[in-house]
Amino acid sequence: MTKLNYLLYVPKNAVSTKKKWPLMLFLHGAGERGNNLKQLKKHGPPKIVTRKELPFIIASPQCPKNDWWSDPQRIEGLNTLIDDLIKRYPIDKQRIYLTGLSMGGYGTWHLAAAYPDKFAAIAPICGGGNPKDAGKLANLPTWAFHGAKDNVVPLERSQEMVDALKKAGGDVTFTVCPIVNNISVNLLLVGFLGAFLPPKT
């Protein structure tokens, strides 16, 4: 299993204080694959933290070129990364959040289905998953986003997951932005970050 490179944002006083901090794992889209971590600063939390301090430890791994976050090997690697970060940083294991954009939205659905007890909440953006996994995700608070004008991932991919979750009795919110496409919808992450969802129970 190939080790994943990643960007890590740690709040200035995270290590010096005794408190535990929430962890946000952000999975990028297909355009940021490769071995250049600077590419990750185009969208999402890695871009946001360059101009705004956030009350999270944020890990942004990079998927190797020509690979996919939904690949079982990558799913296992992401789980290993989370466990490693928990050992090295003051992370609150009850407040681990997962989000991703486009290809990373797919990865969010798949990683959460593989390890549903690991996360306090997830926010897949412009992604899709396997509706058959809805039962595994029913107890996991989910806030899905999609742009109505997405020309990369059809809106239906998110809708079918949301419908399956609702049918399974899941705790799911779905936000569709009528004038937003695949790239600009990642700005909605600010809302998810700002909402500061409660710890898992």
Determine the pLDDT at residue 185: 46
Q: Which stretches of the chain drop beneath a pLDDT of 50? A: 182-183, 185-186, 196
Burial class (CB in 10 A: 0-12, 13-18, 19+), 43: buried
Strands, E assignment, 102-165: 121-125, 142-147
How far is Cα of residue 50 from the mean position of the Cα atoms in its chain?
18
Q: So what's the pLDDT on residue 70?
A: 92
Can you give the pLDDT at residue 198?
A: 56
Quote the pLDDT of residue 179.
61
Smallest CA-to-CA distance from 181 within 107, 128, 142, 126 is with 126
Q: Are 81 and 6 in contact (CB under 8 A)?
A: yes
Complete domains list, the chain, with CATH: 5-195 (3.40.50.1820)
